[in-house]
Chains A and B, each alone.
Chain A
């Protein structure tokens, strides 16, 4: 009857999104009067027992070479075995690129109902109802999962990790792991940048910046804030910025605490990728720009004059020279 949480890691370290789902799973277990356990596939350099601080009692690990390739087929088969061994009835994933490749597949293997992109803890007072955002964050749907086994993937940044002082036991699971059905021949990580979907603060630029040569003001602001950088679709299409920075309906969807839009008009397709942000700030010289209707704070004015002043003021407050 327990809750099993799939823990993502990268380069030996547990990801921030995993801390969030650990908290989510522990809270759900408390709600259901059961226990929460974690599941780690592959090798991790961190001490896994410390993950107990997020409220899980046990971490199950399957440490096998083959699992260093994230192959959905192999992962789904292995995770389904682990579900049987641990007797879990709710399995939690992060709705990240990795989670998106595995969670649905696991649900099929287990003949379990799936809600992917959950926005909140399930309501278990009468049935099992999970809230998720739909219509590109323009609405929510409350979805009932009607199967005995349930799979949920949770949107990053929809719950904050809560840290207590528990400790978990570590349990090595022995499972016959097959071999991957895919072969990874190259990995290109963008180093030194904050991954957009994990960032607390995102500074984003649109056509109002006029050209790639003007991005310095934006980068300075992002640096002062420790923010990730993003852009609107035309900016990505024109190759002013790399295409992986394009946010919106057809780009990356983000939900940071703070989203700062510079010279972006706020078209509905742009908003669809950013309107789960907690606070939105808009700098635009056009008072009629639609973005002001969705924003929390804003300045009507020329971004080239305003942004350097923002950067200077933030540096002053943070005591950065």
Chain B
């Protein structure tokens, strides 16, 4: 059995968000890069857990991006994974990124493709669904539990106001979120092993970008907080009711 885990490089959650070149590009000076938390904590760890149960499982990692993604894949390798693929091109278009991953998936015939629920930079929740369509597989989004019984997966996913349990035959694509697994910290052995795992750099397939970012904007600054004295709670409620018309 082969599992592909999609790994995206994102700015650390505490990064200050700023833009450059007339607001057309993200300003990454001083930014610390991390593995997208959903990819690291949930999809990668769940794949590793499945392999711990069945050592014959092979885990591949893939990222679409230029050479500065290599440290991120190595970081992921420290947690687990057997072999990595970096598709050597930067893009912000979901269709473009997913087409690259789908091409690899079609060549290598994975049984399971895991993505995170969303990337914390572009927040699209889109890559998994597009990959699934391009490889003609079922897609379960926002999964919180994933169990494997032979060729069938039993998956719990979030729906509005609750959850739903689905049974799906492999191959399939799953987007992962909280609940799937518990965050892990790499150990020394993992960190040592990560250095020697094969990381293949492959060139992208021809594909158009269907969208392009024109520019970025920061939200308008808040006017500042209106503080009400602790012994005047009624005034806060009056402001919420009459001024903010919030209830």
Contacts and interface: CB of A to CB of B under 8 A. Distances in A.
B138 A268 contact: no
B237 A246 contact: no
A250 B225 contact: no
Interface string B176-199: 001100000000000000000000
Contact of B247 (A186, A187, A195, A201): A201
A81 to B, nearest CB: 14
Nearest to A181: B138
B66 interface: no
Interface string A277-317: 01101100000000011111111111001100110011001
B244 to A, nearest CB: 5
Contacts of B127: 104
A147 interface: yes
Contacts of A76: 133
Interface stretch (B43-51, B57-65, B80-88, B162-170): B162-170
B228 A298 contact: yes
B226 A298 contact: yes
A34 interface: no
B104 interface: no
A104 B19 contact: no
Given A105-B133, A113-B211, A114-B211, A243 B126 contact: no
A321 interface: no
Contacts of B158: 97, 244
Interface stretch (A55-63, A138-146, A167-175, A209-217): A138-146
A305 B141 contact: no
Interface stretch (B1-9, B106-114, B213-221): B213-221
B129 A143 contact: no
A306 B230 contact: yes
B209 A146 contact: yes
A282 B141 CA distance: 33
Contacts of B140: 72, 101, 182
Top 10 A-B pairs, shortest CB-CB distance: A301-B230, A104-B129, A113-B210, A108-B133, A189-B162, A104-B126, A309-B233, A258-B246, A186-B165, A101-B141
Interface of B: 11, 13-14, 17, 19, 37-38, 41, 93-95, 98, 120-130, 132-134, 136-142, 154, 157-169, 178-179, 208-219, 222-223, 225-230, 233-234, 236-237, 239-241, 244, 246-247
